[in-house]
């Protein structure tokens, strides 16, 4: 029997599914201190035991994104605050090559706040 987090990823449609599966595998490689959990019915990633980021799909743009918990402390032109007070998001276009260097840079900047 699959866990709810596994079902979440498997039930996505392409090309979002491939993008989200890549992000699922890539984010934990950024640090040995990152772990994956199922929280608030979405995939959440913890850094050193604290909420770090999550994966979701933007309702308006229909694009996957990485939600960054300490986003309000980060400065990057591709991070969107929208109507959130604290978290910022990074949209990921499933139709284009994923800019792993940009993701790595943003996530490393976020890790400095823990």
| Mean of the per-residue pLDDT values of the chain | 96
Judge whether 106 and 68 are in contact, CB under 8 Å.
yes
Q: Which domain holds residue 34?
A: 4-111
pTM to 2 decimal places: 0.95
* C-beta separation of 89 from 65 below 8 A: yes
CA triple 76-44-12, angle to 5 deg: 95
pLDDT in tens, 15-54: 999 999 999 999 999 999 999 999 999 999 999 999 999 9
CB 68, CB 87: distance < 8 Å: yes
- The CATH number linked to 11 is 3.90.1150.200
**In the chain, beta strands by DSSP E:** 34-39, 42-47, 50-57, 64-68, 79-80, 88-91
Hey, how many other C-beta atoms are within 10 angstroms of the C-beta on 10? 10
**What is the tally of structural domains in the chain?**
1
């Amino acid at each position: 029997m699959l866990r709810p987090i596994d079902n979440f990823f498997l039930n996505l449609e392409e090309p979002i599914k491939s993008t989200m599966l890549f992000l699922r595998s890539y984010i934990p490689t950024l640090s040995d201190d990152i772990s994956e959990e199922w929280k608030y019915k979405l995939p959440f990633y913890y850094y050193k035991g604290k909420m770090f980021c999550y994966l979701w799909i933007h309702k308006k743009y229909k694009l996957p994104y990485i939600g960054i918990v300490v986003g309000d402390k980060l400065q990057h032109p591709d991070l969107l605050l929208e109507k959130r007070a604290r978290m910022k998001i990074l949209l990921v276009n499933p139709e284009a090559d994923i800019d792993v260097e940009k993701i790595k840079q943003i996530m490393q900047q976020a890790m400095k706040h823990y």
